[in-house]
Every structure is written in C-alpha cells, then in structure tokens.
Structure 1
C-alpha cells in the first residue's frame, strides 16, 4: 500500500538534483591573476606549458620557479635550463601588476638590471604610466633570475628573448582573443620562448601560465595569501567551491527526506 506523501517527495528529489549538478559543474573559471603555486615547472618537451620559436624551437628548454615567503615579502627565483649550443638569452620579461612601477618595493634586490616594459605592445618603449600590460624586463643573460617583492604570486605571463631578431615579446599578441599562440603560428624571425597562454585571459588551465608577482600582501580580488602571509579584508576567507556546496545541499536534502519518512511512518 502506498503511503500518502511519498511520491511528491521523490518527485522533489529528482527536480532538485539536476539543478545541483548543473551548479557544481560551473566551478571552473579563468585563472589568470588568481593565486599561484609557490613552486612549478614548465618546459617544451615533457610537462609542457612553454612554446619556443625559431632558433630555440628544437631545444629542450625548461623553466622552474621557487617562491619563498620572507616576512611581509616574497623571494622569487626563476631558473632557465637551455642546452649548450642553443641561442643565448638576451632578456627575460615577466608579467607584473600595472601599478608596480610606482611601488619601490615591487621589485628589489634583483640580480640583474631591469626596466619596465609593455608586455603586450610591439614597442617596449614609452612611459610606464601609459602601459596597459606592465612587465619587468631583466636586461642580462642569466640562468637564474632572482628578486624580492612585496607582491604575492598569481598566475600570469612570461617571455624569453635571444639577442637576435627585431621582434619583441609584444609581437606574440597577434592572435584571436580566445586562442593560444603556438610556435607554428608565430611568423617572426626572433628566437622567443613564452607560456602557452601568453596574452590570453580566458584559460582555465594553470599549465598555460606561470607564477609571477601581482597582488600586494596576498590580496587580489577573491584570493587569499600563500603560506599564511595574509590577505586583504575578506580575501583570505575560505569559501566553499560550488561543487562542495552542491554536495552539502544533497546531504541536507537526503536528511530532510529521511526525517519526513520517519515522521509519516
């Protein structure tokens, strides 16, 4: 014999679950500018994440980084491994926050001379105040670049250039807004290396970017600080991701239905 009220409860369950599943499936989002890993590796041959053109296209190039909390600051170290006999490094461009050139603590104790450049413009010259995509350019050949910053690591872009060819890292931006520039698509004459997501703000894949300094003291929109080094206001709060909320909702719904069965039985 059917117990009155059972069928409507089942119908309610089947109506709610699709909505929860749809909600949980929307947890992916663009990660450019989001909190990044303190250590990582990108390369052209195994892990991936790097594109290399012209004289560097057949070289096994590897980048590794290590970022260490240092009081209120962060110590950044980027190490490049390029096979002997390949083209030498001319400079290393690294994505930073657009207001970094006004902050004397954005880049300190660098082990190579540096200047501000526009990462996504053909002409790297001009005034930093007019830059929309500020980068810091280390003007010296090194296997390792180190500096200290008051800005915590988030996902962003980089570019490595050799000493020959007229192109700059800004010439890599001739692509569709929702596309990724591969080495085969780059038609310049300069040996360059860049992260797969260079200039793209829509990717949901961390492998397309590298860690670089951006937010001051851990605050960057909804981001919290790494390693307990703070956050601004509510930025350090732990907020359940949509998938977690969906599971909690399912559990709450199941508990409610079980209580209803016991009460009506």
Structure 2
C-alpha cells in the first residue's frame, strides 16, 4: 500500500476516490497518475494486461499516491457488474464502503475500417466497449457515486470531425457525448457534473505503429493541430484533473476539445 510522504503534499482531490477504466496505459495511465498526484485514491481498471496495471499502481505508490488494480474485461454482457465486484475486491483496503467520487470512462477500442469493410461483429464489439460499457458502469455506479461527484467520459475529436476511415469509432464517441449531455441533466440535482473530453491524435502505444519513428507521419499529425505538435497523454490528463476538481464545479454537459485546435 502506498503512503503519502507528508501532510503538506495534499492536493485538490485529497480524500476522493476515483475509478479510471483503461487506466493501465496511454491516456488512462496519465489520468490515473495525475488524479493520484492531486490526492485521489485511484482504482486502475484494466482488461488483460495485469503487468501494465500493476506497473501503473507501483508508479503511483512511488510518487506517494494511493492506487489499486481493478481487473474487468469490457465488451460482454455483465461487464459492469464484474467491474464493480472487482472494484470492491481490489479496493477493500482503500474503499471499505464501496463509495467513490470520480468515474472516468476512458477504456475504448478502435476499428480502423471504413463503411464498406466493417463487419457486423466489429461494429458490435466497438459499440459494446465504447458505449454500452460506460452506460452500465454509470448505471450501476450511481448508488456508489457521492453527491457532488464527477463523471468524465473520454470522447474523441472523431465525434465532430469527418473521418470516414474510422466511421464506427467516431459514431461511438458521438453516442458517448450524447450520453454525457443527458447524464448532466439527470444528475445535476445531485450536484454531479458530467463532461466529455475529446482528444485528437495523441502519442500513445495505440498510435505508435504508424506515428513513432516516422517523421512524415509525426509532421502530418502535428500539422492538424493549431498548436503545431502531437498531443501527449498528460495534455489530456491535465484537463481531466481540472474537470475532476472543485474549480470545475460550474461546468457540466460540455464536450471539452482537447485536440490542440484540430480543424480550425
């Protein structure tokens, strides 16, 4: 179990409990580490890569934070039930009452297929992970989420920019933004804010195959952003940290663009 170095290092999320799906690598890892740095105890949810999840937890502990791993594969019926059971099991030493303050729906899969090549199974899978899982994670988590809590859904610039080559993925993120809008209205009376964060191209393992070590690809990706560079996971994590904090208490039902100004 990790321990905070000194009482002077408390942050804006001190005493808060967070769940980050897809928290073992990429943007999810950066979010988990940033929320822990700000004082939250973080459940790092992952599907299969136990080593990566444990590494994320250890990195947080070494930095003086608190975290625990939550193993639950998404995309199958009953996944939300299994996730919350794993949250209770993994967090028994940190979250004895099963309550939490922050849910970050970050886990997602992409399908790099155009309209003519996408299969029905591929379509069903991407919607199951990217839309159905967050829906039921929230549905089953509402009794756990404290009033004044935060729900942050990781969307994508693909929800608002035409990208036919990833048409199904973009559609799932559009659905997630609609989910955000309706949740914000429904949960407003409880003081719970709900927002989406929409990244553009980010230098993660998912994009490594075509981006890293390819100067032309990197230059092209950077040219799409008004700020002239490729996004980093920490760029997104810092926005999530703001939305999770009390500073963002008056922001809800919004999609926060995190593309660096793509398409301007």
**Structure with the greater relative contact order (CA < 8 A, sep ≥ 6): 1 or 2?**
1
Q: Bigger radius of gyration, 1 or 2?
A: 1
Query: What TM-score range do you get, normalising by the shorter chain?
Result: under 0.3
Question: Which structure shows the higher strand fraction?
Answer: 1
Compute the TM-score of the two structures, normalised by the length of structure 2.
0.27
Question: Which structure shows the higher helix fraction?
Answer: 2
